[in-house]
């Protein structure tokens, strides 16, 4: 059970009383919305944390400070992340100050694995990472970036991938209570036009089907999660992503993905973040049974004493909601 009313110490000085109250309210909301960690469950999440990079080491960044992400925002991010067992993080950048401060606070019970920065203009200096609770899950050996075989890049067709992924997907295997699961996270290119995303989406769908089938022979479960920059069911992007059988759980279908969507209404277009797996055939999950899933809307609980726009909050916390699923173990 996570202690309520976290008071940051050591790295962070004692927060002002108003921020302590705010963090308590955030924790109370998390208690209500996120399942408690227990002996027979597994909590997996994905979060695109906008430009997760440097940090202004103050509780409240001023108008002249850059970046605007401060201790107050980082404390909220930490309180959300620690509710899950393993989290895929997108938009981690070259500068690791915020990540290092977070890991120093979390201590030895938490670990992380990440890629190097992606070079080139399209790569946006981004990394992909996994944060995990060492008391609950452990890496089981596999870690690597997915590279498309040269012969696949020579395939014909309008939607065929002709070059490597702009940001290579990152795969890590974990184990919890003798259940091995491989998580693959990625951040699909956004491009100038929606059709620019289709070759990467179709390639990952093809790769995943082959990989899931191979993994199941060893009794390993395969899931993909991250920011896929897709639209809702019925769009060409959604169809490309699900073309080989990847399935999005029903609990996540009508959830908004970004803070610019109406949290009380299903998102209409931006269906970017996903957690998906195969549910049929030789590729289907073996040991993991979904219980429920959702997002966490942090907007009502951050910077409650300031009249900040959603855009301002997005640069402090994020423009995306964390997306999560709870699995039941055998």
- Residue 2 placed within a domain: no
Q: Tell me: the pLDDT tens digits for 125-155?
A: 789 999 999 999 999 999 998 877 666 666 6
What pLDDT does residue 4 have? 39
- Whether 228 is in a domain gets the answer yes
Give the residue carrying structure tokens 């976290």.
6
Question: What is the reported pLDDT for 155?
Answer: 67
258 located within any domain: yes
How many separate helices (H) and strands (E) can be counted in the chain? 7, 12
Domain ranges, residue 186: 17-328
pLDDT in tens, 216-265: 878 899 999 998 887 788 888 888 889 999 999 999 988 999 999 876 66
Task: Give the pLDDT of residue 188.
Answer: 75
Rounded to whole angstroms, the Cα distance separating 184 from 128 reads: 10
CATH number at residue 281: 3.60.10.10
140 is a domain residue: yes
Count of C-beta atoms within a 10 Å radius of residue 11: 14
44 contacts 86 by C-beta, under 8 angstroms: yes
Residue 146 belongs to a domain: yes
Q: How far apart are CA 133 and CA 253, in angstroms?
A: 27
Q: How far apart are CA 212 and CA 276, in angstroms?
A: 12
- Please choose, from the candidates 126, 99, 253, 147, the residue with its C-alpha nearest in 3D space to the C-alpha of residue 189: 126
DSSP letter for each residue of 108-134: TTEEEEEPPPPPSTTTTTEEEEEEEET
pLDDT given at position 49: 98
Per-residue pLDDT tens listing for the chain (330 residues): 334 334 454 456 788 999 999 999 999 999 999 999 999 999 999 999 999 999 999 999 999 999 999 999 999 999 999 999 999 999 999 999 999 999 999 999 999 999 988 776 665 778 999 999 999 999 999 999 887 766 666 664 666 666 767 788 899 999 999 999 999 999 876 766 777 788 788 888 888 888 888 888 788 999 999 988 877 888 888 888 899 999 999 999 889 999 998 766 655 667 889 999 999 999 999 999 999 999 999 999 999 998 899 999 999 999 999 999 999 998
Contact 273, 235 (CB under 8 A): no
Q: What are the angstrom distances between the C-alpha of 266 and each of 70, 98, 246, 312?
A: 31, 32, 21, 23
Domain count, the chain: 1
Contact 69, 56 (CB under 8 A): yes
Supply the pLDDT for residue 3.
41
Tell me what pLDDT residue 158 has: 66
Q: Does some domain include residue 11? A: no
Q: Is residue 275 part of a domain?
A: yes
Ordered DSSP codes for 177-214: TTEEEEEEEEE----SSGGGGHHHHHHHHHHHHHHHHH
DSSP 77: H
Residue 10 lies in a domain: no
Distance CA 290, CA 274 (A): 15
Nearest to 257 by CA among 185, 321, 302, 187: 321
Which tokens sit at 262? 């109406």
């Amino acid at each position: 059970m996570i202690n309520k009313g976290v008071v940051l110490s050591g790295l962070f000085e004692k927060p002002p009383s108003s921020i302590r109250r705010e963090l308590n309210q955030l924790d109370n909301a998390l208690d209500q919305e996120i399942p408690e960690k227990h002996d027979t469950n597994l909590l997996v999440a994905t979060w695109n944390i906008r430009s997760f990079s440097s940090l202004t080491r103050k509780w409240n960044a001023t108008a002249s400070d850059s970046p605007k992400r401060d201790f107050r925002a980082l404390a909220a991010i930490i309180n959300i992340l620690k509710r899950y067992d393993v989290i895929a993080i997108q938009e981690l950048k070259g500068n690791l100050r915020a990540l290092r401060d977070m890991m120093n606070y979390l201590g030895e019970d938490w670990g992380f694995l990440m890629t190097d920065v992606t070079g080139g203009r399209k790569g946006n200096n981004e990394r992909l990472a996994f944060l995990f609770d060492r008391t609950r899950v452990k890496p089981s050996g596999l870690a690597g970036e997915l590279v498309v075989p040269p012969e696949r890049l020579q395939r014909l067709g309008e939607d065929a991938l002709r070059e490597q992924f702009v940001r290579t997907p990152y795969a890590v295997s974990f184990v919890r209570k003798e259940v091995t699961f491989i998580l693959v996270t990625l951040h699909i290119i956004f491009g100038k036009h929606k059709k620019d995303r289709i070759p990467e989406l179709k390639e990952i769908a093809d790769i995943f089907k082959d990989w899931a089938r191979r993994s199941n022979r060893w009794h390993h479960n395969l899931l993909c999660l991250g920011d896929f920059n897709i639209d809702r069911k019925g769009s060409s992007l959604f169809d490309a992503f699900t073309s080989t059988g990847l399935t999005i759980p029903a609990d996540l279908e009508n959830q908004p993905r970004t803070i610019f969507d109406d949290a009380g209404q299903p998102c209409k277009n931006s269906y970017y973040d996903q957690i998906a797996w195969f549910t049929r055939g030789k590729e289907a999950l073996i040991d993991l049974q979904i219980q429920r899933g959702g997002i966490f809307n942090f907007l009502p609980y951050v910077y409650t004493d300031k009249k900040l726009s959603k855009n301002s909050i997005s640069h402090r916390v994020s423009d995306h909601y964390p997306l999560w699923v709870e699995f039941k173990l055998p």
